[in-house]
Amino acid sequence: MPPPEFQERSGGFVVTLNKTIVQNAGEKIGENEKNAQVEAQVEAQVEAQVVFKILRACLDAGEPLSSGQIAMALEHKTLSGNLRKALPVLRKHELIEYTIPDKPRSKNQKYSLTEKGKRILENI
What is the tens place of the pLDDT at every residue in 103-113? 999 999 999 99
Q: What is the mean pLDDT of residues 5-34?
A: 64
Q: Which amino acid is at 117?
A: G
Segments making up each domain of the chain, as ranges: 5-19+31-122
Architecture of domain 5-19+31-122: Orthogonal Bundle (1.10)
| C-alpha to C-alpha distance for 110 and 124, rounded to whole angstroms | 24
Per-residue pLDDT, averaged over 56-73, amounts to 95
Instruction: Kindly give the pairing relationship between strand 12-16 and strand 96-98.
Output: unpaired
Among 29-33, 49-53, 112-116, the minimum mean pLDDT is found in: 29-33
Residue 100: is its pLDDT beyond 90? yes
Q: Of 25 and 95, which is predicted with more confidence?
A: 95
Angle at 112 between CA 111 and CA 118, to 5 degrees: 140
Asked whether the beta carbons of 97 and 77 are under 8 A apart, the reply is no
Q: What is the pLDDT of residue 17?
A: 67
- Position 86 pLDDT exceeds 70: yes
- 2 has pLDDT over 90: no
Written as one string, the DSSP assignment of 41-74 is HHHHHHHHHHHHHHHHHHHHHSS-B-HHHHHHHT
Task: Give pLDDT, residue 74.
Answer: 93
